């Protein structure tokens, strides 16, 4: 949490202004009136708003002025005068103690933020700009600067079966969500090299999450689930294969148009697969030169205006504006669009990933402009 003066620097003048007002009141009113409470309040405010040097300086100034005013009024020998002096001295001590307490809190928060950021980087490292035949751009933006650890996950790597992508959203936030995210990404990186079918890969990830969940009690286990989307681009960049396990749909950007790749057969999130024995087959989408595939989490699709209207990337032609569209330009446009849509505030983390083939050899299955409608793999 930032100090008030970090957001409004002019507030640093509040303590000396209060002391000046209190001094003016004491000098211009009869001796039976006192503004010592204002002086004491200035000492406490200085502790909360200023640096340690500022808090100490304000306390010394307030105490000296109080003693001088009491001496000038001829009341220095009275018990009431010493009571006011003691009150100001205690307020100054309280302000200094508060300043040190806030400083210790700020250091603890800075340490926690640093650890959280390190955890986030370890779990979600920035992918290389190029992976196999694919150009990549990735972004992660926390909804709250105080909460830099969330449950959004993504990973991308080259495998013998093509470039494979995982993007998911673990239910919840904090350390538990990061633990589940680490399990999910670790299982993906291991199994992606050995499982030929991405539908079976999704099942492997679900099994890994189930094994990981045994460390929780029964109530927690029934509440945990992860939405996930697995995608695969073959090395010839001719097609995109997608398995969607309850995750927001990806988008294909082609020729200035944004098309939502809605799953042909919706499936349940990971850790909820036991509710049905039927698993959806991968959808196949032909790719063409210049295509950009956009993957998002629900921090994008659930972004709302102050009136409650949800943002829909599929209805935003601005994502495909400019020629040619690239992963970076698409993510830049998406980030700007979401901030503009919500007015700058969001309720959820936002992870985004955009890919485009670096080449498409002539005669490859995806060469030429083709229909973007997903078809279920038989």
User: Is pLDDT of 261 > 80?
Assistant: yes
Read off the pLDDT band of 165 (50, 70, 90). Answer: very high
pLDDT (tens digit, 9 = 90+) per residue, 326-376?
999 999 999 999 988 988 766 677 889 999 987 544 444 444 445 555 666
User: Is pLDDT of 107 > 70?
Assistant: yes
Owner of token pair 């909360």: 48
Across the range 258-280, mean pLDDT stands at: 86
Average pLDDT over the chain, rounded to an integer: 82
Whether the CB-CB separation of 238 and 367 falls below 8 Å is answered with: yes
What pLDDT was estimated at residue 5? 63
- CA 288 to chain CA centroid, Å, is 33
- Strand order, beta sheet including 239-245: 152-159, 162-170, 226-233, 239-245, 283-286, 375-376
What pLDDT was estimated at residue 180? 84
The neighbouring-strand residues paired with 286 are 239
What pLDDT was estimated at residue 189? 92
Cα 41 from Cα 53, distance rounded (Å) = 17
User: Is pLDDT of 63 > 80?
Assistant: yes
pLDDT (tens digit, 9 = 90+) per residue, 14-58?
888 888 888 888 888 777 777 888 888 988 988 888 888 988 998
What are the chain's domains? 4-116 (no CATH), 127-376 (3.60.40.10)
Percent of the chain with pLDDT over 70: 83
The alpha-helical segments, DSSP class H, found in the chain are: 4-7, 14-28, 36-49, 52-72, 79-123, 174-191, 198-213, 218-223, 298-301, 327-342
Give the helix, strand, coil percentages of the chain, each rounded to 5. 45, 20, 35
Best CA proximity match to 245, nearest among 287, 221, 215, 275 = 275
Structure tokens at 204: 């492997």
Across the range 237-255, mean pLDDT stands at: 93
Lowest mean pLDDT among 72-76, 262-266, 289-293, 339-343: 72-76
The neighbouring-strand residues paired with 131 are 134
User: Is pLDDT of 110 > 60?
Assistant: yes
What pLDDT was estimated at residue 221? 47
What pLDDT was estimated at residue 106? 85
User: Is pLDDT of 66 > 90?
Assistant: no
Stated pTM of the model: 0.70
pLDDT (tens digit, 9 = 90+) per residue, 283-294?
999 998 889 999
Other Cβ atoms less than 10 A from the Cβ of 347: the count is 12
What pLDDT was estimated at residue 4? 61
Read off the pLDDT band of 10 (50, 70, 90). Answer: confident
Best CA proximity match to 270, nearest among 210, 328, 222, 213 = 210
Other Cβ atoms less than 10 A from the Cβ of 301: the count is 18
Burial of 277 (0-12, 13-18, 19+ CB in 10 A): exposed
Lowest mean pLDDT among 58-62, 160-164, 370-374: 370-374
With vertex at residue 260, the alpha carbon angle to CA 255 and CA 262, rounded to the nearest 5 degrees, is 145
SS3 4: helix
Structure tokens at 153: 């996950």
User: Is pLDDT of 190 > 80?
Assistant: yes
Best CA proximity match to 334, nearest among 135, 325, 231, 147 = 325
Owner of token pair 């009571």: 83
Lowest mean pLDDT among 27-41, 112-126, 147-161, 227-241: 112-126
The tally of CA atoms less than 13 A away on the side-chain side of residue 141 is 21
The alpha-helical segments, DSSP class H, found in 124-173 are: none
Read off the pLDDT band of 222 (50, 70, 90). Answer: very low
What pLDDT was estimated at residue 371? 56
- Name, in order, each residue with C-beta under 8 angstroms of 273's C-beta and a sequence gap of 6 or more: 203, 206, 245, 267, 279
Structure tokens at 235: 């090395």
Lowest mean pLDDT among 112-116, 216-220, 246-250, 319-323: 216-220
Cα 168 from Cα 121, distance rounded (Å) = 16
What pLDDT was estimated at residue 143? 60
């Amino acid at each position: 949490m930032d100090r008030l003066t970090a957001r409004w620097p002019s507030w640093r003048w509040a303590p000396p202004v209060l002391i000046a007002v209190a001094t003016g009141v004491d000098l211009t009113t009869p001796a039976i009136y006192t503004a010592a409470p204002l002086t004491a309040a200035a000492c406490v405010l200085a502790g909360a708003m200023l640096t340690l040097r500022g808090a100490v300086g304000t306390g010394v100034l307030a105490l000296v002025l109080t003693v001088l005013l009491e001496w000038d009024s001829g009341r220095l020998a009275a018990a009431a005068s010493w009571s006011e002096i003691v009150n100001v001295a205690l307020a100054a001590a309280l302000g200094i103690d508060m300043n040190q307490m806030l400083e210790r809190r700020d250091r603890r928060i800075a340490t926690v933020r640093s650890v959280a950021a390190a955890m986030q980087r370890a779990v979600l490292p920035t992918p290389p700009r190029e992976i196999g035949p694919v150009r990549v751009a990735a972004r992660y933006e926390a909804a709250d600067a105080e909460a830099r650890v969330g449950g959004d996950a993504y990973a991308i790597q080259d495998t013998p079966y093509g470039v494979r992508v995982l993007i998911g959203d673990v239910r919840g936030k904090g350390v538990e969500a990061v633990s589940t995210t680490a399990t999910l990404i670790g299982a993906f990186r291991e199994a992606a090299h050995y499982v030929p079918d991405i539908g079976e890969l999704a099942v492997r990830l679900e099994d890994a999450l189930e094994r990981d969940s045994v460390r929780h009690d029964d109530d927690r286990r029934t509440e945990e689930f992860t939405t996930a989307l697995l995608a695969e681009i073959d090395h010839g960049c001719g097609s995109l294969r997608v398995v969607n396990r309850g995750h927001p749909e990806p988008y294909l950007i082609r020729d200035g148009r944004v098309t939502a790749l809605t799953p042909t057969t919706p499936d349940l999130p990971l850790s909820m697969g036991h509710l049905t024995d039927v698993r959806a087959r991968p959808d196949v989408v032909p790719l063409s030169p210049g295509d950009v595939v956009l993957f998002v989490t629900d921090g994008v699709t659930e972004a709302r205006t102050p009136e409650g209207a949800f943002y829909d990337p599929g209805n935003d032609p601005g994502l495909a504006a400019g020629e040619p569209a690239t992963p970076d330009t698409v993510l830049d446009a998406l980030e700007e669009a979401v901030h503009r849509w919500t007015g700058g505030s969001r309720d959820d983390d936002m992870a985004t990933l955009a890919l485009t083939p670096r080449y498409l050899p002539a005669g490859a299955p995806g060469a030429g402009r083709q229909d973007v409608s997903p078809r279920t793999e038989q």
